[in-house]
Structure 1
Amino acid sequence: MISYHISAASPVQHTFNITLTFKASQKNTIIQVPFWRPGRYEAGNFTKNFIGLRASANGEELKARKTTGHTWNVETTPGETIEIKYECYSAELTAGNTYLDEELLLINPVNALVYVLGTENEPANITLEVAKSWKVATAMIPQKNMDNGNGIWKYRCADLQELLDTPILAAENIETLTYRESGIDFHIDIYGDGIADKEKFKEDLAAFTRAQISAFGEFPVNRYRFLTLLLPHKAYHGVEHETSTVLIMGPSAELHKRELYKELIGVSSHELYHTWNVKSLRPADWTPYDFSGPDFSRLGYVAEGVTTYMGDWMLWQSRFFSDIEFLNELSTHVQRHIDNEGRFNLSLADSSIDTWVDGYGRGTPRRRVSIYVEGALVSLICDIAIMKATKGKKGLSDAMRSLYQKVGAKKGFTEAEYWDELKTFAEIDWNKLRNDLIDSTGKLETYLDDAFAEMGLVLTANASEKPWEKEWGVSIQSINGNWEVYNVLKNSPAEKAAMWFGDKITEIGGSLPDAFFAAAPPKTMDGISVSLQSGFRTKTVSPKADGKTWIRKYKVVQDNDSSQDLFKRWKFLLENQAVEVKGVL
């Protein structure tokens, strides 16, 4: 039996001890660190957090030599019980990381645990040792003999996929709320303050849960937990898992405001939708997950794009979002799409592959697109195309349910199967749409305009109220205490004046940037100069406006002069459909 023992080494130093015990089956055993984690399609480099890994048998140290950045070769004797011990450094708190301090432990096993290559299908026991006063929240199944009164918690996972995909939250102050939908218990484990009306929070989660189950006809697993961390500083993150999600939001003191509360509900809906789309209905490239190296797929636009769109659409269906709030979410996607000139240089499918190349940061300017943003807009276009073809009786949600039912849990679907499924719902030229929006560049806007028109919507475009955006074609943001050039449009006055992505502004208009941007913006940027730190060089530039409006703000609004019949069918689609809900018991 494979077993793990996890205990705190030094919470102040963010380290804890891990011991892996197993019986060797061959002379050379490969110890593997996962190359990546689900939900983040890039190299994780988790080994950088492991300290002092040692192997032993019967108290004698064994030779353990690194063979790659993610593997060790251990000289073992078949039949011997082997122990692998190491410390894990965990100082950065995100929803996808592992973290430990004096008051909180969050374990994402995929970046904290090593495993024995070749034992992926074997069960594992997990023993977690924490302070006696602490509570533990996890979707792992407790062992029958677990007695946590002494701070020792014991769990069992069926295989490596379950082990690495089931996070653990532990702290003294965790409050758990519960609701039940379709025979499934959903638990909300809350660390931190900020939600005054917890009953409303529970009701809002239950409402979109009900909508999503209605859309698919069943819930794919028999339990689910929202591991929710509310932090005092600005934070936003969510990571999907098969039977749970980790959510981080802050500042918690502002959760009483609708805008931040919407963010929390929005990321919660997004991650729950992943329970079907990705965790159960998964691209064949990721079935099963291969943790030993990069797991390329061109279907990131389905995994994340469909989920981004549907997560918001479900909030509209559950009436958490008003019409205006839902359209505002679409407006945000459109704005991000237009602001990113990478849409002219790399296709959506190729950008899905290249998350493994340059990760999730901003990367090289104008190089690629976001699978979340572009994928959401393509999903919107497909949804409206199906709505139009079926006269408002079916939508993309029906295609996703049909694909889920045909493919079945965890069997995996190909790109061809996804598009073939859409073809069964609408007789349009899907091949052209796929070529234009998935495999080509710069063709999405025409499709967007047509889709909006079908729903009685229009996309308005007004000049930015910030004169440096309007006249110079440059957006500027405060990043880590510095005012930086965030975006520069091609051929704009800012680009011609040699302003570039990442330049730090040290002075603007004769003032320090904090003072300049805190004051009311000038009516025009005419005659204003900017001092920049560009790499190791300093320079002062004075962009010259050319009379054009460079950056506009886009908004999707209803056209009161247009028929709203299809829009209403879109809004009430789930209510108008009779979907038999089948719970997993």
Structure 2
Amino acid sequence: MKAKLLSFLPLGLLLAGQAHAVISYSIDLSAPEHHLARVEAHFPAVDDKDFKVNLPVWRTGRYQQLPLADGVRLFKARDSDGKLLPWQRTASGEWQISVASPTDVTVSYQLYANELELRVRHIDASHAFLDASGVFVYNPERRDEPLTVNLQVPQGWQSYSGMAGGGAAHSFAAANYDVLVDSPIETGLSQQRSFSVDGRDYELVVWGEGNYSLDTMVADLEALATQAKVIWDEVPFKRYVYMVHATSGAGGATEHINSTIIQLPRFMFRERADYLKFITTASHEFIHTWNVKAYRPSGLVPYDYQRENMSDLLWMAEGSTSYFQAQLLLRAKVMTPKEFLEDLAKRIDTHLNTPGRQQQSVAEASLNEWVAQGGDYAINHSVNIYSEGFLASLALDFSLLQDSKLKHSYRDVHRRLYRDFALPKSYGSEDVQAILGALSGKDYGPWWQQHIQSPLALNFDELLARAGLRLSYGKESKFKPKAGMTVSGNSLVLESVQRGSAAWQAGLVAGDELLAINDLKLVPGTLDKRLGDFKPGDSIKVSFFHADALQQRTLTLEQMPDGKAEVVAVDKPSKEQKAFFKAWAGIDWSFDANGDLPAKP
């Protein structure tokens, strides 16, 4: 019923009875200074005359095609006698090898690995991070066969992975290619800590110097691990590895079946706001161990590594994970209620200032994710599966809590998805609606059509009031002028122009270069201050270059709240509102004397 645990079994059990069918990989990292390695893949008993090996065209966790095969050079294929076999490139990530008679086939190639931010492959003098999707070729017909991986590394390096150890230093074993491709390897000079929670073993491996505290990270990760039972009844792993890169600028994270890779600039760990980015990311990837890795939408089961895997539920895979990440940290007392509601307020404010929310549903955004590119067009005509999926999850949670009279929440939906649709099964929209119906006693078809299949249109005043909360921009209702345009960095080149705004209506577009306002030179970095010299309703003359031609336009400034968005307590919340808040957030109603700032738990 649950996701398989084969990846955690000892090598002997993994390979028992299959000693002659084991695919083996080796990678020579002994001279890593120039980001190069030598890879060999040995396939026993090949009897296919046209034997194909592939590198995936995407990696799990990033739903976009990537040029992963571009790092391969000096490709060769040999038979059991070491003789070269002819081959040809038949697709961007595919090599077809001609095999005249049954034989073992050994493929070798040089690998270039200098793609840290993509979290696929990076090799330098201090470490190597290896995601198999960009490192090890596979044969699609034999992806279910067991395999081993052996690394040759410089002296002093240590190697880590979610895979089982291979019986020797710097070696690993996996039940199949799907386990390998979802179990990255971190090898090199790093710091490591181990801890256990509820019978499960955890490792924290950090590469790179920075202003982090291993003690703080371990304590918070331990607290996080205790909260999984709030949503799921079981844990789908015996061992989990947090791999952290303290980098010179690269950032991001990717989930895997029993590990994650998290990247942050090396000096973005100490300040509270920076540390929250790390620990919320860690929570997000930890939740993915269930949501996506243990159960996932039907369009992603099984993974097809050579093409797009379409699903209209990516918002649920990613946005719902984002939704739960702060909840677990709040319950674990790693995040304060104030920080929890600040995160919610920021997400609501971003939504309200994204014109694309009026045009694209979360279901359509999920299907569009494979070609989504961001930028000005995305802001005005699209939504993000993470942020919009978060709010769709919030709406679904509040609806289910209300319909079930607080007996069930969105957590119960994911508990049942794991119980009833764990891999190798999968689920679709109709399965989610059936669970919602069973929990609420109502038909959720109309709700789904209105909020998931159509652009999300939420009344946040009504929604938040159920939990005794409201959206505020400060104690006094003040407004400042709004033009609806943003510049790129410290330049005067427009990065985006908000659809329907004053700048949009005046004809300005992304890429225009601002020069002056009311015939006075505009200095880079001062646009917001300059606009602050005016009032909502004022008309201003903007001079700018458009396609190298000098243009002038007059626009009438609109208004926007002059304050930071906050989610605060309503005056005199009722008993029912306090009960709703606790059923939702998992903590007692606890606000300060002013009623607008939550107290620490």
Question: What's the TM-score, normalizing by structure 1?
Answer: 0.88
Answering whether residue 282 of structure 2 is matched by residue 268 of structure 1, we say yes
In 1, Cα distance between the equivalents of 2:376 and 2:566?
A: 24
8 Å CA contact retained: 2:36, 2:123:
yes
- Distance in structure 1 (CA, Å) of the matches to 2:495 and 2:404: 43
Equivalent residues of 1:529, 1:541 under 8 A apart = yes
The offset of 1:511, in angstroms, is 4.2
Structure 2 equivalent of residue 18 of structure 1: 39
2 CA distance for matches of 1:91 and 1:355? Answer: 25
Structure 1 residues 276, 179: closer, same or farther in 2, change over 3 A?
same
Compared CA separation, residues 106 and 506, structure 1 to 2 (3 A): farther
Give aligned-pair identity as a percent.
25
- Mapped contact 1:279–1:410 kept (Cα < 8 A): no
Q: Which residue of 2 aligns with 1:432?
A: 446
| Structure 1 residues 123 and 64: alpha-carbon distance in aligned structure 2, compared to 1, 3 A threshold | same
Worse overlay, 76-85 or 347-356: 76-85
Deviations along 1:41-63, one digit per CA (max 9) or x if unpaired, are 11122122222322222333222
Whether contact under 8 Å (1:471, 1:550) holds in the other structure is no
CA contact (8 A) 1:493 1:543 kept: no
How large is the RMSD of aligned CA atoms in angstroms?
Answer: 2.8
Contact 1:317 1:574 (8 Å CA) reproduced: no
1:8 alignment partner in structure 2: 29
Identify the residue that residue 206 of structure 1 maps to in structure 2: 222
Asked whether the equivalents of residues 376 and 497 of structure 2 are also in contact (C-alpha less than 8 Å), the reply is no
User: Match of 2:206?
Assistant: 190
Partner residue of 1:169 out of 162, 186, 202 = 186
Q: Verify the 8 A CA contact 2:280 2:326 in the aligned structure 1.
A: yes
Corresponding letter in the other structure for 2:56: P
CA distance in 2, matches of 1:290, 1:432: 33
Does the alignment pair 1:455 with 2:472?
A: no
Q: Deviations over 1:151-198 (max 9, x none)?
A: xx21111101001111111222x1111221121001111112335542
Q: Using the alignment, how far apart are the partners of 1:471 and 1:52 within structure 2?
A: 57
Aligned residue in 2 for 1:544: 555
1:445 equivalent among 458, 461, 465: 458
Counterpart of 1:560 in structure 2 is 571
Question: Are residues 362 and 528 of structure 1, via their aligned partners in 2, closer, same or farther at CA, if it must alter by over 3 Å?
Answer: closer
CA positional deviation for 1:565: 2.8
Amino acid of the residue matched to residue 320 of structure 1?
V
State the Cα distance separating 1:312 from its structure 2 match.
1.5
Letter in 2 for 1:29: F
Q: What's the CA shift for 1:365?
A: 5.1
Matched position secondary structure for 1:178: strand
CA deviations over 1:349-389 (Å, ceiling 9, x no partner): 11101111235666655232111111110111111222223
Pairing of 1:139-154 with structure 2 (within 5 A): 139-144=162-167, 146=168, 148=169, 153-154=170-171
How many residues end up aligned between the 2 structures?
558
Paired with 2:151 and 2:422, the residues of 1 have a C-alpha distance of 34
Q: Deviations over 1:413-446 (max 9, x none)?
A: 12111121122222445222211111112x4223
Shift of 1:391: 3.6
In structure 2, the residue matched to 1:49 is 71
Does the aligned pair in 1 maintain the 2:25–2:42 contact within 8 Å? yes
Q: Are residue 218 (structure 1) and residue 228 (structure 2) matched?
A: no
Q: How does 1:337-348 map to 2 (within 5 A)?
A: 337-348=351-362
1:466 and 1:521 in contact (8 A); partners too: no
**Contact 2:29–2:153, Cα closer than 8 Å, also in 1:** yes
Name the CA distance, whole Å, in 2 between partners of 1:541 and 1:49: 48
What TM-score, normalized by structure 2, do the two folds share? Answer: 0.86
> Tell me, which stretches of 5 or more residues in structure 1 are unaligned?
576-585
Q: Distance in 2 between matches of 1:159 and 1:551?
A: 56
**Would the aligned equivalents of 1:27 and 1:78 in 2 still touch at CA under 8 Å?**
yes
C-alpha contact (below 8 Å) 2:478/2:561 kept by paired residues: no
Q: 1:115 aligned to 2:138?
A: yes
CA distance in 2, matches of 1:31, 1:547: 59
Structure 1 stretch displaced more, 107-116 or 261-270: 107-116
Retained in 1: the 8 A contact 2:345–2:565?
yes
Looking at structure 1, the residues matched to 258 and 107 of structure 2 have their Cα atoms a distance apart, in angstroms, of: 28
Q: Secondary structure at the match of 1:351?
A: helix
Q: Secondary structure at the match of 1:333?
A: helix
1:280 Cα deviation after fit:
0.2
Structure 2 counterpart of 1:62, from 76, 80, 85: 85
- Cα offset for 1:99? 0.7
Q: For residue 3 of structure 2, what is the aligned residue in structure 1?
A: none
Higher deviation after alignment, 540-549 or 70-79: 540-549
- Contact 1:497–1:541, Cα closer than 8 Å, also in 2: no
Which amino acid letter does the alignment assign opposite residue 389 of structure 1? D
What secondary structure does 2:370 align onto? Answer: helix
Q: Structure 2 vs 1, CA of residues 25 and 104 (structure 1 numbering), >3 Å: closer, same or farther?
A: same
Range with bigger deviation, 327-336 or 523-532: 523-532
Secondary structure of the corresponding residue to residue 108 of structure 2: strand
Structure 1 residues 338, 231: closer, same or farther in 2, change over 3 A? same
Counterpart of 2:252 in structure 1: which amino acid?
A: H
User: Does residue 245 of structure 2 align to residue 229 of structure 1?
Assistant: yes
1:100 corresponds to: 123
Letter in 1 for 2:494: V
Is it true that 1:490 corresponds to 2:506 in the alignment?
A: no
Shift in CA distance, 494/5, structure 1 to aligned 2, threshold 3 Å: same
Letter in 1 for 2:120: N
The aligned counterpart of 2:8 is: none
Provide the residue aligned with 1:581 in structure 2.
none
Matched residues in 1 for 2:23 and 2:332: separation? 44
Distance (Å, rounded) in 2 between the aligned partners of 1:325 and 1:332:
11
| Pairing 1:325-340 to 2, within 5 Å after superposition | 325-340=339-354
Q: Which residue identity is paired with 1:13?
A: H
C-alpha distance in 1, partners of 2:477/2:251?
26
Q: CA deviation at 1:33?
A: 1.5
Q: 1:487 touches 1:501 (CA, 8 Å); kept in 2?
A: yes
Alignment partner, residue 592 of structure 2: none
State how far apart, in whole Å, the 2-side matches of 1:112 and 1:187 are. 24
Aligned residue among 32, 37, 53 for 2:59? 37
SS in 2 for 1:132: coil
Quote the Cα distance in structure 2 between the aligned partners of 1:138 and 1:506.
Answer: 53
The residue correspondences of 1:405-424 to structure 2 (distance < 5 A) are: 405-424=419-438
Tell me the secondary structure at the aligned position of residue 13 of structure 1.
Answer: coil
Instruction: Tell me which amino acid in the other structure corresponds to 2:50.
Output: N
1:517 shift after superposition: 5.7
Contact 2:380 2:498 in 1 (8 A): no
* CA displacement, residues 330-362 of structure 1 (integer Å, 9 cap, x when unaligned): 122212222222222222111101111235666
Q: SS where residue 204 of structure 2 aligns?
A: strand
- Seen in structure 2, the aligned counterparts of structure 1 residues 533 and 365 have a Cα distance that, compared at 3 Å, is farther
The 3 A distance-change label for structure 1 pair 465 and 270 is farther
Distance across 1 between alignment mates of 2:192 and 2:69: 33
Contact 2:284 2:321 in 1 (8 A): yes
Taking a change above 3 Å as real, the CA distance of residues 301 and 527 of structure 1, as seen in their structure-2 partners, is closer
Does structure 2 retain, via aligned residues, the 8 Å contact 1:96–1:108?
yes
Name the aligned partner's letter for residue 230 of structure 1: A
C-alpha distance in structure 1 between counterparts of 2:554 and 2:109, whole Å: 56
Is 1:473 the counterpart of 2:496? The answer is: no
Change (3 A) 1:141 1:482: farther
Does the CA contact (< 8 Å) of 2:514 and 2:522 recur in 1?
no
Contact (CA 8 Å) 2:375, 2:496: kept in 1 or not? no
Measured against aligned partners, the alpha-carbon deviations of 1:254-294 in whole angstroms (never above 9, x if no partner) come to: 42110000000000000000000000011122122111211
- Asked if the contact 2:143–2:178 (Cα under 8 Å) also holds between the matched residues in 1, the reply is yes
- 1:400 match: 414
